[in-house]
Structure 1
Amino acid sequence: MVQIVQELIRQLEVGTRNTRLALVGGIVRDWLLHRIYKEPWNGPGDLDLVVEFSMESHVNAHALAERLISLHPEEITHCHYYDKYGTAEICFLWGTIDLATARQEFYPEPGHNPVISFHSLESDLARRDFRLNAMAIVVKDSRWQLLDPYGGQQDLATGWLDFLHHRSVTDDPTRLIRAARYGARLGMTLGHNSINQTRGTIDQWPWKLQSDLTSDQAPSALTTRLRIELELLFECRYWQGSLHLLQVWGALELLDKNLQVNSYISLKRRLIWGNRLGISLLLALISAARDPVTLATRLQLPKNQIQWLRQVEKLQELLAFTEGNNTVNSILLSGWRPSRWCRELETRGWHPEVIALGLISGLQPRRPLLRWWFRWRHIKSPITANEIIARENFSGYRLGCYLRQLRWDFVDSVG
């Protein structure tokens, strides 16, 4: 694998004689951790490379991607170009290479997408999130040279995650989600200045986000980009440590104040329980917000998941009169037979995940909801539709109602 990567980089270098090509990102960080600090090395994985734009030879990421495609037509499964940002993603059978034209960035407003222009390798490193990610290995004339203008090696040695600039969080608050991912995986945490920047920025709240703003009007770093970073976080096996770091840093307030003040143990229990019931970790987290539907809409979750959250509110209304053990309604509910619970939960057009969300949200009474989830909903009618048709003159809607009632009666008998 290493030999394959070295050969690909050599082939790319041939096409960049008048400019510089560099390895950047995680491969540089992980290689240094292995080479200097003896951390385990799992191979190069996906590659991130940056090339400086050359006006003379018109070298850029797109041109280098075309070169690789011409040299390896059988090994490349597909290639995506993002000309607005000067990047190309090339998918090989063994992994992915991300090629980028070196650029500098300017954020016109906090949290919005940056305005870019193609520039030098140093400018490209200066736009990055953390000092440990602002390192590069420059490949020139078959020689590899480390470029570390901001002290990334020092952060690796001390275990600190430090932002590159004093406006890093203001410009892009999703950097906090990445910091939590790196921190949990590498055993690092934010440095003192970065902690102060985080808390000061959140207290100041420079982003245009009010309850009456739609997701189209809110900055992208608090909508789609924030959701994508959270999905990446929850895909990692270190997600519990990442979630804990976000709360320690006060960063869960980016989502919802209720999530920030909630105890970590309570949030972790909810997410683990939800995952066992088939609820995604992100959806389970959002369900703990003060207004889950508004937060899910802002993050642009799938429409069906937003609908589930709305239906949880309806489930809560159905069960609301159980509050208070001595009320008449509570007594009536405690006398509901399994068939009644099945009828109430199954005839309102609710997806089963609605009940799961209600369970992890602590809705009461809990025992019949659990029994419905694990047992009652799986019980089938003792008589099939074909058997009913053969004996009775039923069809269509009438057949469906009859079959459903037979099943509910059977649930009572086996309960």
Structure 2
Amino acid sequence: MENINLGLKIKERLPARALPIIEKAVRLAGVRREKLFLVGGAARDMLLEKPVSDIDLVLEGNALTLANELAQGEDVKVTLHKPFLTASLQYPDLSLDLTTARRESYIRPGVLPDVQPGNLKDDLFRRDFSINAMAISLNSEDYGRLIDFYGGLGDLHNKLVRILHEKSFRDDATRIWRAVRYEQRLDFRIEEGTQALLRRDLPMLKTISGDRIWYELECVFGEELPEKVMARAGELEVLAYLDPALKVDGWLEAWFDEARRISLPQKPSATLYMALLTFNLDSEAIERLIEYLKLDKTISRTLRDSQKIKALHEELSEEPLQPSTIYLHLHGYSEEAIKTNLIASEPAEVRRNIQLYLDELRYVNTSLNGDDLIALGIKAGPSIKLLLGLLLDARLDGEVKTREDEERLIRTEIISK
């Protein structure tokens, strides 16, 4: 094991707010002669000269006790996950996880592990890949020392994603998605033996609950270029385990790129990315995915709405189309579903009409409301809604422009009846 010290990088790469918290944690742990380590992605990203955002601490001792001690006198919310010997600490400007060093065992593939206290070596062995199985000592006697039991440093240098043991994907098949995600994020490659085991264990994806798979997909959609992950997942036949009809071709890169453009300055939502990924599926496949992934109402509605709007493309491609007709076709559908069709629709006329709706038509309102119509002599009842609809259509089509125009139109309607 190389003798590498990252003491200076801790101060350079960690958020400044984290340093006094870690110092306090080391001091409190030291009272009980417990050892504290910075683990996982933090060590990896320091070695890659990247900013550290995920702060995971492992304690050879009782992490739950230490978390409660850290919280005393501080503005912090502590959440204890007792079955997993883990605590999450949420400060106003920082979050971190504190875990008791532990070992894990799986009674069968796909289930959450049984957890028992262990030492640092045990804890690192339970991790997904060697590049995430390194630690940095935070203790005074060897502060900053890199601890690498499983060859993570060499794999970083060789740009490899490698599992730690041959049962890794069988124990937890979500690691299949993570392997592809890290490979594409870091511009690494999945190590040859790991890739062979990944292909062997693809059926193990069926042992994972749909909500856990959806969490992995959300992580993919949070990447800078999720289309790279999806394309690689297609090559490795991982996507087929979402749905056999799901294919990724060159169109996805262009669609995701356009999603980023129209979402600026924010990033596209996972919902928009998912709607684009599934755009070419039929309604039956969409329903299978909704049920399998246990998608919430908002995402489910967007996927269904996207299919319904896609079915309207023939009507939306007619030229010229009155603005009120465009509004009638699109109003009431989720914004993300409408954006999905803006991006993925082929006919230029459809895209123009959807763009007009998003840019202008959806913001059009009448000046008069129901009370105003009653004041003009209209009886309360269904006719109020009909007349407000008439006014809105006239506004959309440019037939009325002012409140006075609307009042004249209503009086004309009264006289005509």
TM-score bracket for the superposition, by shorter chain length: 0.7 to 0.9
Letter in 2 for 1:398: S
- Partner-residue secondary structure (3-state), 2:366: coil
Deviates more, 1:359-368 or 1:174-183: 359-368
CA distance in 1, matches of 2:44, 2:239: 27
Give the conservation status (yes or no) of the 8 Å contact 2:279–2:306.
no
Matched, 1:262 2:252: no
Instruction: Identify the residue that residue 219 of structure 1 maps to in structure 2.
Output: 208
CA distance in 2, matches of 1:133, 1:340: 55
Give the conservation status (yes or no) of the 8 Å contact 1:125–1:135.
yes
Q: What TM-score comes out, normalization by structure 1 length?
A: 0.77
Give the conservation status (yes or no) of the 8 Å contact 1:256–1:289.
no
Q: Cα offset for 1:122?
A: 1.8
Matching of residues 114-129 of structure 1 within 5 Å: 114-129=113-128
Instruction: Identify the residue that residue 309 of structure 1 maps to in structure 2.
Output: 303
Give the conservation status (yes or no) of the 8 Å contact 1:132–1:161.
yes
Give the conservation status (yes or no) of the 8 Å contact 2:26–2:35.
no
CA distance in 2, matches of 1:344, 1:243: 32
Matching of residues 2-401 of structure 1 within 5 Å: 3-4=19-20, 7-17=23-33, 19-33=34-48, 39-40=49-50, 42=51, 45-52=53-60, 59-70=61-72, 73-74=73-74, 76-140=75-139, 142-144=141-143, 145-202=145-202, 205-208=203-206, 219-220=208-209, 223-259=210-246, 261-263=247-249, 265-274=250-259, 276=262, 280-289=272-281, 291-317=285-311, 322=314, 337-346=322-331, 350-362=333-345, 366=350, 367-381=352-366, 383-401=368-386
CA distance in 2, matches of 1:98, 1:353: 33
Q: Cα offset for 1:384?
A: 4.8
- Partner-residue secondary structure (3-state), 1:84: helix
Q: Deviations over 1:316-366 (max 9, x none)?
A: 4555xx4xxxxxxx89966764433433444xx544444334444437662
Letter in 2 for 1:255: L
CA distance in 1, matches of 2:354, 2:228: 31
Unaligned ranges ≥5, structure 2: 1-15, 401-417
Letter in 1 for 2:115: I
CA distance in 2, matches of 1:147, 1:89: 24
CA distance in 1, matches of 2:244, 2:324: 40
Indicate how the Cα distance of structure 1 residues 123 and 414 shifts in structure 2: closer, same or farther if over 3 A, else same: farther
RMSD (Å) for aligned C-alpha atoms: 3.2
CA distance in 2, matches of 1:115, 1:406: 64
Unaligned ranges ≥5, structure 1: 34-38, 53-58, 209-217, 323-329
- Partner-residue secondary structure (3-state), 2:76: strand
Indicate how the Cα distance of structure 1 residues 169 and 342 shifts in structure 2: closer, same or farther if over 3 A, else same: same
Instruction: Identify the residue that residue 325 of structure 1 maps to in structure 2.
Output: none
Letter in 2 for 1:206: M
CA distance in 1, matches of 2:152, 2:229: 21
Q: What TM-score comes out, normalization by structure 2 length?
A: 0.77
Give the conservation status (yes or no) of the 8 Å contact 2:103–2:117.
yes
- Partner-residue secondary structure (3-state), 1:256: coil
CA distance in 2, matches of 1:352, 1:47: 35
Number of equivalenced pairs: 372
Instruction: Identify the residue that residue 213 of structure 1 maps to in structure 2.
Output: none
